[in-house]
Structure 1
Amino acid sequence: MKINTKFLGEVEVDKQHIITFEKGLPAFEEEHEFIVLPFSEDSKFLTLQSLHTVDCAFVIADPFSFYSDYKVQLSESTIEQLELESEGDAAIFVLLTVHAPFNETTANLQGPIVINLKQNKGKQIVLSDSDYTTKHLLFPLLTTAKEEK
């Protein structure tokens, strides 16, 4: 099926890859069906695009590509809601807030998105018992180097 997207124009998507967020996302509770699309074949950045609202799209990334020590502990209720049978069934993404210049882009490590890859179910969770915030610099070394000049 073809859908219009905020960042990529019109794209063909496979219905098998539609991810259902039973309760939507915080502040977007009416949006239940999304698709994850890469910006390009070799990009670390993806878009989480609503199937029903073109302007409802988020830039996301695999947090482990940027933060090797990032840890996410899933609650039993999240495991049950997403019907996760094994750790390998889960994909973790974080929402990015893109800034200009791009090296000031931040990641929401406090509210990762968890997707069951087998069941195509997703949920945004809140890591309340952690030191993570909603605004971690994605490229801290680049930003620090710029400030030192």
Structure 2
Amino acid sequence: MLVKTRYFGEIDLAEDKIITFENGIMGFEDYKRYTILFDNEGGETPVISWFQSLDDERLAIPVINPLIIKEDYNPTVEDASLVSLGELTDENLIILLTMTIPSDIKQMTVNLKAPLIINSTTKKGAQIIVENKDYEVKHKVYDKFLKLKEQKGAE
């Protein structure tokens, strides 16, 4: 299926790459179909991917694996909020954090409070508000990226 995207132009997307968010995501409740895109020209899996709406090509949100930012990330959620996704296991559970990257990248943040939870088997997802009191909506990450770059340079 051909889809238009914000940063990658028109792409041919396989049906099994479509993730359905029955309730949409916060602020975009009417948009239900998404995919995850990334630039893989260098051959490495990128740190940041794009959560691309298939209902509106202009909606593309940078996302990241939470363990890159916070190694002990362990969100507490009500089980009832995940029932619609199907049975979640270590093998099919994908958790992503949305990012905000302003023009001053030193102010870049991730949302630890409302991760995207995806079941890769059922291709269903939901954005959940976690119960953890110490998780911020705007957790600054610029310093973490500097440390990652230093570590990569040392290898």
User: What TM-score do the two structures reach when normalised by structure 2?
Assistant: 0.84
Cα shift at 1:127: 1.2
The answer to whether structure 1 residue 31 and structure 2 residue 27 are counterparts is: no
Given candidates 106, 117, 122, the residue that maps to 1:119 is: 122
2:113 is matched with which residue? 110
Structure 2, unmatched stretches of 5+, are 148-155
Mapped partners of 2:33, 2:88: distance in 1: 22
Map 1:8-19 → 2, pairs under 5 A: 8-19=8-19
Contact 1:39 1:45 in 2 (8 A): no
The answer to whether structure 1 residue 51 and structure 2 residue 67 are counterparts is: no
User: What amino acid is the match of 2:4?
Assistant: N
Contact 1:39 1:47 in 2 (8 A): no
Cα shift at 1:139: 2.5
Contact 2:118 2:125 in 1 (8 A): yes
Aligned residues: 143
Map 1:1-149 → 2, pairs under 5 A: 1-40=1-40, 41-42=43-44, 43-140=46-143, 142=146
Mapped partners of 1:75, 1:7: distance in 2: 35
The CA deviation string for residues 56-100 of structure 1, in whole angstroms up to 9 with x for no partner, is 111101010121121123321133111124232210000000123
Mapped partners of 1:97, 1:84: distance in 2: 30
Mapped partners of 2:84, 2:106: distance in 1: 36
The CA deviation string for residues 16-38 of structure 1, in whole angstroms up to 9 with x for no partner, is 11000001111111100001111
Cα shift at 1:103: 3.8
In the TM superposition, structure 1's runs of 4+ consecutive aligned residues that sit over 3 Å from their partners are none
Q: What is the SS of the residue equivalent to 2:82?
A: helix
Mapped partners of 1:44, 1:4: distance in 2: 23
Structure 1, unmatched stretches of 5+, are 144-149
